[in-house]
Amino acid sequence: MSARRKPLHPVKAKKILKALTKMGFAARHSKGSHVLLRHVDGRTTTVPVHPSEEIDRSLFRKIAADLSMNPEELMYLVDES
């Protein structure tokens, strides 16, 4: 296993938002409990922010795909933030 790869596990949306902000994503707007994030290079994704819930692996994979990233590499960045 590479040093930059972490096994996928459920994670709080706030940790994902923090990691994406460090990567250069900015919240464009929110609708209800969903935040739309956009990067200057045009990549976008939506993250649901429910305080008592965690993002499961399947949704985490979808967010990583939106960002054109490997899910394990994104998990590493989330865990490091």
What is residue 5's predicted lDDT score, i.e. its pLDDT? Answer: 61
Q: What distance in Å separates the CA atoms of residue 46 and residue 60, rounded to the nearest whole number?
A: 11
pLDDT 10s digits, 43-56:
999 999 998 999 99
The answer as to whether 1 is a domain residue is no
Neighbouring residues of 9: CB distance < 8 A, sequence distance ≥ 6:
57, 75
Residue 66 lies in a domain: yes
Q: Is residue 53 part of a domain?
A: yes
pLDDT exceeds cutoff 60 at 1: no
pLDDT tens profile 23-45: 999 999 998 999 999 999 999 99
| pTM reported for the whole predicted model | 0.87
Domains of the chain: total: 1
Q: How far apart are CA 37 and CA 45, in angstroms?
A: 5
In a domain, 46, yes or no: yes
The tokens of 2 are what?
Answer: 């590479």
Q: Which CATH number is 62's domain given?
A: 3.30.920.30
On whether residue 6 sits in a domain, the answer given is no
